[in-house]
Structure 1
């Protein structure tokens, strides 16, 4: 006997609350850990309805790459990992990357940083691509959380 769930009615669809998605994981503070985080974020977004190659997937994946690379390069403490949290509610995707270096916070105005440096322009990308971004202290352990929000409706 085949049992198929009944197709939802129009009325039932409007009563279902919007579903929030969340993914969180700890990664080694190495380039390999940052690369794995980036790949898993892209895969998770694909599963959540933002397919590979779409502007939302590409933008959030690029922001994740920058935040995780910064956590490895500037927030690394030997023997400590970085944490990534990805959440998606209708209209907004948020990426949070935490590390254990509270004293090394990024400049909130990335354009004010030294322009002669060969590196250090990742925050300019985040500033340009994210709807909002910032840094806050970690509440569960020493360190900081650098976060970025991307408005899905504002990306084309």
Structure 2
């Protein structure tokens, strides 16, 4: 009989800035201790982007976390049609623009995946166990 894989953890949050902290807390609650800081930061940045740029009104942001293939994966989905990309590092006094630069620096891999019915998912993975452990 095949081994049953670990099921992903799934949350849906309102498209509101208060959801960023709730998403970070949710991820830290299911992630291995060694990945709390990195996965928490990635969740914060991706949910912030989804709330600011991918939603409006009563939309929801979906967060999924799961282990697979030696990584811990995190996906944040929203109904927006924009395709996030890493731009240049913002000016030192800029109040935004660092999110995907940080995700790019932390994640072993990340990308944007279109959803079949509407919107996109931004998926990022961290190697587990972390190097040097």
Equivalent residue in structure 2 for 1:97, among 66, 69, 76: 76
Distance in 1 (alpha carbons) for counterparts of 2:84 and 2:127: 22
Cα RMSD after superposing both structures:
2.1
Give unpaired runs (5+ residues) of structure 2. Answer: none
Q: Which residue of 2 aligns with 1:121?
A: 98
TM-score, normalized by length of structure 2? 0.86
Deviation at 1:89, TM superposition (A): 2.9
Q: Which residue of 1 aligns with 2:23?
A: 37
Select the structure that is richer in helix: 1
Distance in 1 (alpha carbons) for counterparts of 2:112 and 2:131: 23
Q: Which residue of 2 aligns with 1:78?
A: 57
Does residue 138 (structure 1) correspond to residue 110 (structure 2)? The answer is no
Deviation at 1:57, TM superposition (A): 1.7
Select the structure that is richer in strand: 2
The number of aligned residues is: 130
SS in 2 for 1:153: coil
User: Is the CA contact (8 Å cut-off) linking 2:23 and 2:63 kept in structure 1?
Assistant: yes
Distance in 2 (alpha carbons) for counterparts of 1:18 and 1:88: 13
User: Is the CA contact (8 Å cut-off) linking 1:98 and 1:145 kept in structure 2?
Assistant: yes
TM-score, normalized by length of structure 1? 0.74
Q: Determine which structure has more spread, i.e. the larger CA radius of gyration.
A: 1
Equivalent residue in structure 1 for 2:84, among 97, 106, 122: 106
Distance in 2 (alpha carbons) for counterparts of 1:57 and 1:21: 19
- What per-residue deviation string (whole Å, max 9, x for no partner) do you get for residues 62-110 of structure 1? 11111111111111221111111111136210000010111x2211xx2
Distance in 1 (alpha carbons) for counterparts of 2:126 and 2:76: 15
